[in-house]
Amino acid sequence: MPAVSKGDGMRGLAVFISDIRNCKSKEAEIKRINKELANIRSKFKGDKALDGYSKKKYVCKLLFIFLLGHDIDFGHMEAVNLLSSNRYTEKQIGYLFISVLVNSNSELIRLINNAIKNDLASRNPTFMGLALHCIASVGSREMAEAFAGEIPKVLVAGDTMDSVKQSAALCLLRLYRTSSDLVPMGDWTSRVVHLLNDQHLGVVTAATSLITTLAQKNPEEFKTSVSLAVSRLSRIVTSASTDLQDYTYYFVPAPWLSVKLLRLLQCYPPPDPAVRGRLTECLETILNKAQEPPKSKKVQHSNAKNAVLFEAISLIIHHDSEPNLLVRACNQLGQFLQHRETNLRYLALESMCTLASSEFSHEAVKTHIETVINALKTERDVSVRQRAVDLLYAMCDRSNAPQIVAEMLSYLETADYSIREEIVLKVAILAEKYAVDYTWYVDTILNLIRIAGDYVSEEVWYRVIQIVINRDDVQGYAAKTVFEALQAPACHENLVKVGGYILGEFGNLIAGDPRSSPLIQFNLLHSKFHLCSVPTRALLLSTYIKFVNLFPEVKPTIQDVLRSDSQLRNADVELQQRAVEYLRLSTVASTDILATVLEEMPPFPERESSILAKLKKKKGPSTVTDLEDTKRERSVDVNGGPEPAPASTSAMSTPSPSADLLGLGAAPPAPAGPPPSSGSGGLLVDVFSDSASAVAPLAPGSEDNFARFVCKNNGVLFENQLLQIGLKSEFRQNLGRMFIFYGNKTSTQFLNFTPTLICSDDLQPHLNLQTKPVDPTVEGGAQVQQVVNIECVSDFTEAPVLSIQFRYGGTFQNVSVQLPITLNKFFQPTEMASQDFFQRWKQLSNPQQEVQNIFKAKHPMDTEVTKAKIIGFGSALLEEVDPNPANFVGAGIIHTKTTQIGCLLRLEPNLQAQMYRLTLRTSKEAVSQRLCELLSAQF
C-alpha cells in the first residue's frame, strides 16, 4: 500500500492545481493565480470566520503559488492560527507554510514561538517533531533566545522518544550555528556524547552531526567523544552487511553514519595509542574493503562504499602521522584516477591534492603525474580538469616544475575562460618559485602573455619586471626576448608594457647588435604606440625619455615624436603632461643630469610575491572561480581595495598636474605587497613574558630546519598542514632584523593567533629582541608578517624559541620552533693575506682559544658547496692562504654591543676517510666553542 493516501487531500486545491496546469500561456497562468489570490484575500478578510479545513486549504494554495515562484504577501496570520489547531493536518500545513515562507525577522515570531512552546510541552511526539522542525527551519535569534535552553533538556531526557531525540539534536545544531552564544554548555554535553552509544542509529547519526559542530569550538568539552566514535565506527566497519538491518544501504553498513563519525574524528589530533590502534585497524579494514570485489553492481553500492573510503582517506591525511596508511591511501586514489566513473576521478584528484602536501606521501603522489597530465588533456568535464590543474600545482616541486609548467601552458591555450586567470597565476608562481634558470622564467611569463594576455593580471607583469630588475644575470636575455616577442605583428598590450619597461631599462644591453639598434628598438615600440590604451602609452613615453638618456643618437627622433601635436596637445591630461615635461627635460638638462634623473631602477626590496597573495585571495575554500567573480575582484582592485594601490598604472592614469615628473616617470611598478600587519595597539610585546608554561615541545624536524638557516638568511622555517613560517633576515654588525611570515595554508581563519618570542634566562642578557604583536586573526590563505629587531649584546649560545598559539576550526594549536638567530649572524668578514693570517693564528695559540672538532661528513664533500657554506656562515673565505689547496680558511669579526671578537677558522677535508677537521681560534673560548658547533653541523 502506498504510504501517502492520495485521495484524502483537499479537492479545491487539486482543482486549482489542475487549472494552473491547463493554462496555455504564462499570461493565462498569472491571470488564474491573480484570480485565486483575490478569492483567498476576500475569504480571509470576510466577516465569516473560516473553519480549520478552509483555512488549511487556502494556506496550502498560497504555498503552492509561492512555490511556483510568485510573491506572497498575506496569509501569514492565518497560517499562524493553524498552529494552534489540535488537528495534525492543519497544524502541519501551518508549520509548513511558516518554514517555507517566514523569514527570521518576521513580527509574527512571538506568536509562532508561543505555539511552538505549547507543542514542545505537549508530549505528543508528532507535534513535538513539527515544532522542532519549525525551529530548525526558521532558526532565528529570537527562536534561539526562546528555545536554546529548553532543547538540550528534551534531547537528554530519559523518556524522550528516539525520533524526537533525533530532531532535537539537529534543531540544537541549527540554533548553535545561528547563535552559538545562546547555547550554554553544561551537564548535558557529557550525556550527548553518550548518545554515540545509543541503540538507535538514527539518534547516533544526528548526535554525531551535533557533536562534530560543537567539538570544533569546544574541543575539551567533547574530547571523550573520540574513543566512543572510534569504537562505534569499529563496530560498524566490522559488522556483517546484515547486522545493521535497515541501516545497511546496498550492502554497505551505515555509510552515512560512518562518514559522520570519520568527520568527527577529524576535529581532533590522532588519539592515544590504545584507541589509535583500534582506529588504525578500522582504517585498514576500510582500505581493504575497497579492494574486495563489489557485493553489488548497483552504483549505489559503490557510491556508498567509496563515500566511506574517501572520508577515511581524509582522516588519514588529517592525522598525517602514519606513513603506511598515507601511502596506501595514495595508491588507492591512484587507482581511482583511472576509474571509468567520472565522479571517482574527480574525488581522487581532489583528495590527492591534500595528500600532496604531506611529506610522507608527496613522492607517492608525484608518481601519478602522467595520469594527471593526461586527465588535463582528455577529461571532458571542466570540473575534473580544474581539479587536475589544482593537483599539478600541489605536486609541483623543483624536479618536475619544467614539465608541469609546460603542460599548464599548453592547456591554457584551450582552457575554459572561467579558469584561465587562475591558471595564469599558478603558472607564474610555479615558474618563479622553481626557476633555477631565470631565462626559463622570462620565457614562461612571455609565453603566458602571448597565450592568455587578457588573463594576465597586473601583478604578474609587475612581478616579471621586478625580478628582471633585481637579477642582473637575466637582464640582457630579457631585453633580447621581449625585443623578439614584440616583432609579432599582433601582440598583447601586456607584452607592450613589459617590453616598454624592460627596453627602457636594459635596451642598451642589446643595442650593440645592428638588428636591434636603438632606432630599431624605438621604431618597434612606437609602432605599437597608437594601438595602446592611455596607461600603456604613458608608460611608453617614459620609455622614450629613458631612451633619450641611453641612446643620445635617437634623441632628435624622440623629441620630434614628443613635439608632435598628438602628444603635446593630447586630450588626455596625463599624456600631454608627460610629453611636455619630457620634451622640456630632454632639451634643458645636461647629459649628467639626464643620466642621474633617468638612472637605472634600483633593485626592488624582496618581498612576498604579490601574485601568490593574489592567488591566495582568489582561492577561497573552493577552487573554481567564475569569470564574473574574477571581474568583480579586478574592479575592486582598480578602485583601490584594501591594499595600497600600485604606484604605477593607477598613478599614471590619475591626472595630477602637481605630481612631479620623477614621481610619475620613474615610479617603480611596485606591486602591492601584503599589507604590513599592523599591531593593533602598537604596544611592544613583552617578549620575555612568562608564557613559557604554554610552550609546545619543539616541532619535529625543527632541529634540521634550524641547522639549515645557519648559513642562510631566508627560507621556510616550518611548515605543516595548517601553517607555514617563512623567514627573511638581514644582519649588520651587532644588529639584525628578521621578517617572519606566517602563512595560513587553510581556507579557515586562525583565531587568537599569538606568536611569542621566548629567550631563556641564560640567553636574555645577551640578546635583545623587540617586536610588535600581530593581528590575532589570520584569514584563510592570508599571510601576516612580523618584524623582529635584534641586538646582540654579547656572545651567546642558545637560540630563542618562537612559540605560536592559535585556534583553528575550534582546536587549539601550539607550535614551537627554534628561531635561527645564531652567533655567526653577527660576523663581518675580514680579508687578509696569508702572512697576516698565520701571524694572528699563532697569536691565538692559547689552548682555551682553540676548539677543534673531527667529524664524519654528512653530505657529499663538494668543494664549491663547502665554499658557499663558509661564506654563508659569515666569515671571509681566504684563497691561497693555506699551503694545502684542499683546505679552507676563513676570517671574520663577531660584532656584539660590548665587544668585537676576531675569529679564524680552518677546515681540512679528508676525502678518503670522508672526514673533516675543523679548527676555530678566537679570543674567547665560548665563542670558539659555539662557532665550531654551528659550523660542524653544516658538512
Binding residues, as ranges, are 11-12, 43, 53, 57-61
Phi, psi (deg, nearest 5) at residue 169 = -60, -45
List C-alpha distances in Å: 857 to 383, 645, 712, 869, 918.
Answer: 50, 51, 20, 14, 12
Least Cα distance to 418 among 634, 629, 632, 637 occurs for 629
Strands 915-922 and 715-719: unpaired
Q: Which is nearer to other proteins, 14 or 694 (CB)?
A: 14
Q: Is 364 in the site for other proteins (CB under 8 A)?
A: no
Rounded to the nearest 10 degrees, what angle do helices 573-588 and 534-550 cross at? 10
For residues 85 and 771, which CB has a smaller minimum distance to other proteins in the complex?
85
Degrees, nearest 5: CA angle 119-120-123: 90
Residues 428, 434, 437: CA angle, nearest 5 degrees: 100
Q: How many residues does the chain have?
A: 939
Nearer Cβ to other proteins (609/623): 623
Closest to other proteins by CB, 62 vs 594, is: 62
H or E segment at 45? helix 26-45
| Interface stretch with other proteins, choices 32-40, 57-65, 465-473, 716-724 (CB under 8 A) | 57-65
* Cell numbers that stand for 708 in this block: 639549515
Q: Which of 30, 38, 100, 636 binds other proteins (CB under 8 A)?
A: 100
Q: Name the pairing type of β-strands 827-829 and 888-895.
A: antiparallel
Dig out the grid coordinates for 488 from the structure: 609579432
Residues 6+ apart with CB under 8 A from 526: 540, 561
Q: CB-wise, 21 or 24, nearer to other proteins?
A: 21
171 touches other proteins (CB under 8 A) = yes
Q: Does 744 bind other proteins (CB under 8 A)?
A: no
- Interaction between residue 246 and other proteins (CB under 8 A): yes
One of 81, 84, 126, 746 touching other proteins (CB under 8 A): 126
Burial class of residue 898, CB neighbours in 10 A (0-12, 13-18, 19+): exposed
Distance CA(499)–CA(485), nearest Å, equals 8
Tell the smallest beta-carbon distance from residue 72 to other proteins (Å): 9
Of 491, 587, 498, 500, give the one whose Cα is nearest residue 542: 500
CB of 303 to other proteins, least distance (A): 5
Candidate list 28, 30, 38, 67; residue touching other proteins; CB under 8 A: 67
Question: What span, in angstroms and rounded, lies between the C-alpha atoms of 196 and 101?
Answer: 35
Amino acid at 670: A
110 near other proteins, judged by CB under 8 A: no
Q: What is the 3-state secondary structure (H, E, C) of 356-382?
A: CCCCCCHHHHHCCHHHHHHHHHHCCCH
CB atoms within 10 A of CB 467: 20
Residue list 301-320, contact with other proteins (CB under 8 A): 303-304, 306-307, 310-311
CB of 8: closest distance to other proteins in angstroms?
5
Beta bridge partners of 894: 827, 901
Please report how close the Cβ of residue 254 comes to other proteins at its closest, in angstroms: 8
Q: Which of 132, 478, 738, 893 binds other proteins (CB under 8 A)?
A: 132
158 lines the binding site for other proteins (CB under 8 A): no
Binding of other proteins at residue 625 (CB under 8 A)? yes
Q: What's the min distance (Å) between Cβ of 120 and other proteins?
A: 15
Interface characters, 318-347, with other proteins (x: CB under 8 A): ------------------------xx-xxx
From candidates 300, 564, 691, 760, binder to other proteins by CB under 8 A: 300
Closest to other proteins by CB, 129 vs 669, is 129
Q: Which helix (H) or strand (E) holds 789?
A: strand 783-792
Between 51 and 606, CB nearer to other proteins? 51
Query: Nearest approach, Cβ of 300 to other proteins (angstroms)?
Result: 6
Q: Nearer to other proteins by C-beta: 163 or 721?
A: 163
Select from 84, 104, 724, 797 the one that contacts other proteins (CB under 8 A).
Answer: 104
Output 174 or 825, the one with its CB closest to other proteins. Answer: 174
Around 411, how many Cα atoms within 13 Å sit in the side-chain half-sphere? Answer: 31
CB closer to other proteins, 374 vs 383: 383
* Residue 48 within binding range of other proteins, rule CB under 8 A: no
When asked if residue 206 is in the footprint of other proteins (CB under 8 A), the reply is yes
Using an 8 Å Cβ cutoff, are 490 and 463 in contact? no
- Closer residue to other proteins, CB minimum distance, 33 or 409: 33
374 binds other proteins (CB under 8 A): no
**Least Å from the CB of residue 234 to other proteins:** 20
CA 835 to CA 827: how far, in whole Å?
A: 22
| Burial class, 8, CB count within 10 angstroms (exposed 0-12 / middle 13-18 / buried 19+) | exposed
Q: Which helix (H) or strand (E) holds 393?
A: helix 382-395
Place of cell 602637481: 658
Signed CA dihedral, 100, 102, 108, 114: sign only: positive
CB nearer to other proteins: pick between 394 and 792: 394
Using CB under 8 A as the binding rule, whether residue 919 contacts other proteins is answered as no
Applying CB under 8 A, the site for other proteins has a residue count of: 83
Give the residue with the Cβ less far from other proteins, 92 or 225. 92
Residue 174 binds other proteins, judged by CB under 8 A: yes
Asked if 636 touches other proteins (CB under 8 A), the answer is: no
Task: Report how far residue 411's alpha carbon sits from residue 427's, in angstroms, rounded to the nearest whole number.
Answer: 11
Strands 750-758 and 723-732: what pairing? unpaired
- Residue 667 DSSP SS3: coil
> Is residue 786 part of the contact set for other proteins (CB under 8 A)?
no
Characterise 383 by phi-psi region: left (phi > 0), alpha (psi -120 to 50), beta (else): alpha
Check binding of 187 to other proteins (CB under 8 A).
no
391 belongs to the binding site for other proteins (CB under 8 A): no
> Measuring CA to CA, which residue among 244, 159, 253 is closest to residue 199?
244
Pick 101 or 589: Cβ nearer other proteins:
101
Q: Figure out which of the listed residues 359, 381, 606, 831 binds other proteins, where binding follows CB under 8 A.
A: 381
616 lines the binding site for other proteins (CB under 8 A): no
Selected from 113, 160, 167, 922, the binder of other proteins by CB under 8 A is: 167
Count of C-beta atoms within a 10 Å radius of residue 819: 25
Q: Is 6 in the site for other proteins (CB under 8 A)?
A: yes
| Residue among 160, 189, 205, 729 that touches other proteins (CB under 8 A) | 205
Neighbouring CB atoms inside 10 A of 75's CB total 22
- Using CB under 8 A, which of 3, 490, 683, 911 touches other proteins? 3
For other proteins, which stretch binds (CB under 8 A), given 244-252, 667-675, 688-696, 761-769? 244-252
542 belongs to the binding site for other proteins (CB under 8 A): no
CB of 173 to other proteins, least distance (A): 6
Q: Which of 81, 84, 89, 410 binds other proteins (CB under 8 A)?
A: 89
Kindly tell me the sign of the dihedral angle through the C-alpha atoms of 218, 221, 223, 229. negative
Does the protein bind other proteins through residue 595 (CB under 8 A)?
Answer: no
